[in-house]
Structure 1
Amino acid sequence: MFLAAYVRSGSAAGWGSQSLQTAVAYQKGPARARLLRRWTRSFLADRHALPVPLANTWTISLLDRQSDLKEAICEHLQAMGKYVRAVDIVHFMADPANMVRYGLTKAVCLSTAQSWMHALEYRWTKVPSGQFVDGHERVDVVNYRQSRFLPEMARSDPHARQWDREGNAVPAPANVARPLEKPVVYWWHDESVFYAHDRRQTRWVHKSEKAVPRAKGEGASLMVADFVSADYGWLRSPDGKESARVLFKPGKNRDGYFTHEEILTHATTAMDILQHHFPHEHHILIFDNAPTHLKRAADALSARHMSKFPTQADKPLFGVETNVHDPATGKAVYASDGKLLKTKVRMGDGRLPNGERQSLYYEEGHPREGVFRGMAELLEERGYENARKLPAQCPEFKCKPPAIDCCCRRLMFNQPDFRDVETLLETHCKARGVEVLFLPKFHCELNCIEQCWGHAKRTYRKFPPSSAEADLQKNVVAALDSVPLVSIRRFYTRAHRFMDAYRRGLNGKQAAWAAKKYRSHRVLPESLLNDLDEAGLGAPGSSSSD
């Protein structure tokens, strides 16, 4: 650059000034200008005499000079567990044996240890989070998933539209049986909470930016309950004037809480829209396994707290606790401490194997009229003659599978009239001709609306911060409506990839790996078994470490 500028100047007097201008352009001074003139004279005398930088031996890290040091530090950090620190390297290197081994006269400082953490590919960041696994592989959860949920989905899937990655409908194979008359549309339900102060925290920050005061806490909250489908998006009428979306301000001194009664009202609103605007399709409402969704009638059969023998005279009535409701409004009544008021009602009648009614209480005219009869007597009436010899229940009710007659409570649980009690939500929707399906517990990956919430919250966090509840509601609605239909269809396809994985016997960890690896597929390939082995995840059905 210096030589070219000097030649272009055409003046012999510009030798010194041009060298200084070149040095200044690189933020250097007269010393660099003198070096430029020296290097240029040498180059003019010998075209091979190019300036070569000195070997930078003084900044080569000890990690690079000592070939075994990196491996030793890695082993030491692994032995420290998950929560490793840069100071662990300082302590490791301060060990006298290590100082002699690596030729150190003094221990490394903390800043050096921090740079070594980067060289060892550690980063100070949030821990990557995957799907929840608490109870995911529990025996009863897996049994419900494999024997109830997946077969129900397999029955209706041939009637439901499937989508490619661009959101286009994929023609269904002609050789697939279709026992239903109408096309199926799945409507996935869930609730989610948005907070006023929830904003994006990670971004590019200019060094001149200063800290500014911010609001403390999460701020006001707004709960959203809605239905979504891959066919139509959020549940609303074609003209957009009717919507199933519910905006709810949760809290004791606000709108209260989203109870089972609100769930029934929400389902009614959804069914009204579906049957008025989409009558030519078979609609299936899919809910998660939350207690508010699974509530049964107040007197529904349950063996959970039954005693083996009749209730003693000094004990209270055996029955089911239910909420007290205001006769005028029908809403639940709260006590002064903010808790729901409860009352006990008698449990309903059971059904004997021959279909006859079986009262759980001694009937009128009996010396102990109205007293609970006990599981042993009820089972004897159902044909289990040795019921009195069985324990009331196994320790902590953890019966060893595949036992089904090990204790009185397990026998009662497996009786058809106890096992197959409909929820109020199922009864309510069935009366309108709408099917209800419950997701397995702990399986949020099967509910595509979960990803819709995530997409909406990413958009919501980009809005200007505000503590006003009016802004909160406006921003929440805008964020929800910003979720594209093509994304919803991709979320739907992802949920079906997980279902396909579980049908093939994969556990939660294997299914998560497969769903991510084959994210461009609607179903998993035939090479799945080999791919799992190559990834070191074992064969389907093997135990999972999660």
Structure 2
Amino acid sequence: MPSPPPHAALSPPGSEPLTSSSAPTPTTISDSTGTSPTSSTELGQCLTVRTVTPPAPTRRVVYWYHDESVFYTHDRRRTRWVHKSEKAVPHAKGEGASLMVADFVSANYGWLRSPDSKESTCVLFRPGKNWDGYFTHDEILAQATKAMDILSRHYPDEDHVLIFNNATTHLKRAADALSARHMSMKPTQEGMPMFGVEMPMHGENGKPVYGPDRKVLKTKIWMGDAQFRDGSPQPLYFPPEHPRAGVFKGMAILLEERSIPNVKNLRTQCPKFQCKPPAVDCCCQWLLFNQPDFCDVKSLLETHCKECSFTVLFLPKFHCELNFIEQCWGYAKRIYRMLPASSAEAVLERNVCSSLDAVPLLSMRQFYTRSHRFMDAYQRGLNGTQAAWAAKKYRSHRVLPNDILDELGRAFTAS
């Protein structure tokens, strides 16, 4: 049986194969040399096949915002419309029992959960001296570790950024972290206490050791080494072969080792460490404080997350409008206040969890967009009042228009 012609496989389904007598005349295409091929063979020789490598797919970046909030048992809506036949009833005094919630949220997925919702980063904490204590830096590290574990296992194809508030609990540094505060100008004199960092003493069981006055006993440790501009370490204490081995060198020697001139003519520090900008060499303490290795000391949270290939960002202080999780708390508390009142702690926890789960993802994304309008306004030079006005006026926009400053001037001039 004769084999079909080569072009028969190119025929559409249900059509007859093209024969040499019925084949259409090839279209004439000019090549780069200006000649015109007259056959399919010549046409194929004129065309150059190039292999194009598609660009590598970009990884999506997901931003996770962290925060804590407290729910109270007696937190109820006090002002509302009532029927004329309804009588006033007494309210419970005080705020009642409290339950603190700490969690992560993103505009992509909502609350940080595994795809099957069996794993969660939500932490319920009963704050108080006689309850669970207080939410310290150790709890923050543990929660961040759990978040990174869930994201690494269930969302490995994305880059995740953890965003925290600018709170001291989040910004805690290592115990021996560099700090120019309380440094002396000259080496520590004999008989004076060693310069170092105070640390609480812990027993063999890992718990703090208390003295007769019920205060935690403390001990001093050496501060960590500084770093020259070339990356080599700069010890703050004299080496073992020095006559005063282990004694703090003093700021003057530390600055001289960095080749900074006229150090001895500077005073130790300005009154109350309130140096007037833009001066950076008014005193030894401020000069050392502005050295790169003293400025770039990372927090324990940043160091821990960086080791796990995660990025950490801190929001500016006193700007809760930039963290859209604050609006998620408000939405959840509105639902919580409408639930039946109860003083039982089990009911409190159940109501809090149900209120958090009731926050829709669509609302979270709207809150996220609103917080970004504030960011956009601040980047354009608006202050807090102006940013709030612009965010409200352009609430249906993702970003503000380019002529926002002109629009702002016209609006405030008219008013």
Give the structure-1-normalised TM-score.
Answer: 0.62
> Quick check: 1:375–1:408 contact (8 Å CA) kept in 2?
yes
* 1:510 and 2:381 correspond: no
CA distance in 1, matches of 2:264, 2:334: 59
Residue equivalent to 2:305: 429
2:401 to 501, 522, 525: 525
1:392-435 deviation per Cα after TM superposition (whole angstroms, max 9, x unaligned): 22233232222222221221121111111111111111111111
3-state SS in 2 of match to 1:285: strand
Residue equivalent to 2:237: 361
Distance 1:472 1:340, change over 3 A: farther
> Quick check: 1:303–1:409 contact (8 Å CA) kept in 2?
yes
CA distance in 2, matches of 1:537, 1:341: 63
Residue equivalent to 1:399: 275
CA distance in 2, matches of 1:456, 1:247: 15
* 1:240 and 2:117 correspond: yes
Distance 1:337 1:388, change over 3 A: same
1:269 counterpart letter in structure 2: K
Residue equivalent to 1:145: none
Residue equivalent to 2:25: none
2:341 to 450, 465, 483: 465
Residue equivalent to 1:185: 62
Tell me by how many angstroms 1:533 deviates: 1.1
1:371 counterpart letter in structure 2: V
Tell me by how many angstroms 1:303 deviates: 1.1
* 1:287 and 2:287 correspond: no
Residue equivalent to 2:189: 312
3-state SS in 2 of match to 1:427: helix
Tell me by how many angstroms 1:184 deviates: 0.2
Equivalences for residues 58-97 of structure 1 within 5 A: none
Distance 1:325 1:531, change over 3 A: farther
3-state SS in 1 of match to 2:385: helix
1:348 to 224, 247, 263: 224
Tell me by how many angstroms 1:324 deviates: 4.0
CA distance in 2, matches of 1:301, 1:272: 30
1:38-71 deviation per Cα after TM superposition (whole angstroms, max 9, x unaligned): xxxxxxxxxxxxxxxxxxxxxxxxxxxxxxxxxx
Structure 1 unaligned segments of length 5 or more: list them.
1-177, 539-546
> Quick check: 1:196–1:465 contact (8 Å CA) kept in 2?
yes
Distance 1:507 1:307, change over 3 A: farther
CA distance in 2, matches of 1:183, 1:339: 50
1:293-333 deviation per Cα after TM superposition (whole angstroms, max 9, x unaligned): 111111111112222222333432222233445554x5666
Residue equivalent to 1:377: 253
1:343 counterpart letter in structure 2: T
CA distance in 1, matches of 2:211, 2:388: 45
3-state SS in 2 of match to 1:247: strand
CA distance in 2, matches of 1:191, 1:340: 28
Tell me by how many angstroms 1:207 deviates: 4.6
Structure 2 unaligned segments of length 5 or more: list them.
1-54
Size of the aligned set, in residue pairs, is 360
Equivalences for residues 14-33 of structure 1 within 5 A: none
Distance 1:180 1:419, change over 3 A: farther
Tell me by how many angstroms 1:503 deviates: 1.5
Distance 1:413 1:537, change over 3 A: farther
2:105 to 207, 223, 228: 228
Residue equivalent to 1:81: none
RMSD: 2.4
Residue equivalent to 1:40: none
- Report percent identity of matched pairs: 69
Residue equivalent to 1:449: 325
3-state SS in 2 of match to 1:185: strand
3-state SS in 2 of match to 1:223: strand
Give the structure-2-normalised TM-score.
Answer: 0.81
CA distance in 1, matches of 2:109, 2:203: 39
Tell me by how many angstroms 1:190 deviates: 0.6
1:127-175 deviation per Cα after TM superposition (whole angstroms, max 9, x unaligned): xxxxxxxxxxxxxxxxxxxxxxxxxxxxxxxxxxxxxxxxxxxxxxxxx
